[in-house]
Amino acid sequence: MKLLVISIGSRLRGHDAVAHETVAACHPAAADFERVDFLEAHQLTPEIAAGLSGFDAVLFVDADAGASRVIIERVSADPNAGQFSHSIPPSSVLALAGALFGFHGQAWLCRVPASDFAFGAPAANSADDIKHAARRIASFMRKLAS
C-alpha cells in the first residue's frame, strides 16, 4: 500500500504545530508500507490535490481545538464542503484529486487535541500528549498496512 501522510498547521501559531510534531514521531511506522510519503503543509490548498495521485490512501493530521482526544475518522470527497480559496478542508482536496487527477483512494482525518493557537505560544502540546497521539497514529498505520 502507498500512503501519503499530510500534517497541517502553522509552526508560528502555538499548538497548531502539534500535527507536525506528532507525525514526525510516527516515521518508524512507515516501514510497514510499500511507500509512505510525509508532507508538511501550513494549510490545505487546492494545489495539494495533485500530490494525491499515485497513492492508495491519505491520512490528514491536524490540530483541533474541539477534540478532547485523538480521533481518526474517514473522510469522503465532497466538492461542496468549502469555498475554493487559500484554504480548503480535506473533503475538498479529495474531491479535486478525484475529479482532476483520478484519485479514488481511502482517506482519513486525525484530529489531535490542541488549545492554544496564539502567535508566540509554545510550539506544541506536552511531550506526553505528542507521544500518545503518535502511538495512536502509528497503530492506525500498522492496521492499515496489514
Q: What is the CATH number of the domain that holds 136?
A: 3.40.50.1450
Rounded distance between C-alpha atoms, residue 53 and residue 120, angstroms: 36
Residue 126 confidence class, pLDDT cut points 50, 70, 90: low
Q: For residue range 90-105, list pLDDT tens digits in order.
A: 999 999 999 999 999 9
Percent above pLDDT 70 for the chain: 88
Cβ neighbours of 89 (radius 10 Å): 17
Residue 80 confidence class, pLDDT cut points 50, 70, 90: confident
pLDDT for the residue numbered 38:
93
* Residue with more model confidence, 87 or 139: 139
Secondary structure class of 47 (helix, strand, coil): helix
Cell of 97: 484529486
Sole residue written with cell 481518526: 72
Task: Judge whether residue 142 has pLDDT over 80.
Answer: yes
- Would you call 114 exposed, middle or buried from its count of C-beta atoms within 10 A (0-12, 13-18, 19+)? buried
pLDDT for the residue numbered 84:
56
Secondary structure class of 51 (helix, strand, coil): helix
Number of structural domains (the chain) is 1
Task: Judge whether residue 72 has pLDDT over 90.
Answer: yes
* Biggest alpha carbon–alpha carbon distance for the chain: 41
Domain of residue 34, residue span: 2-145
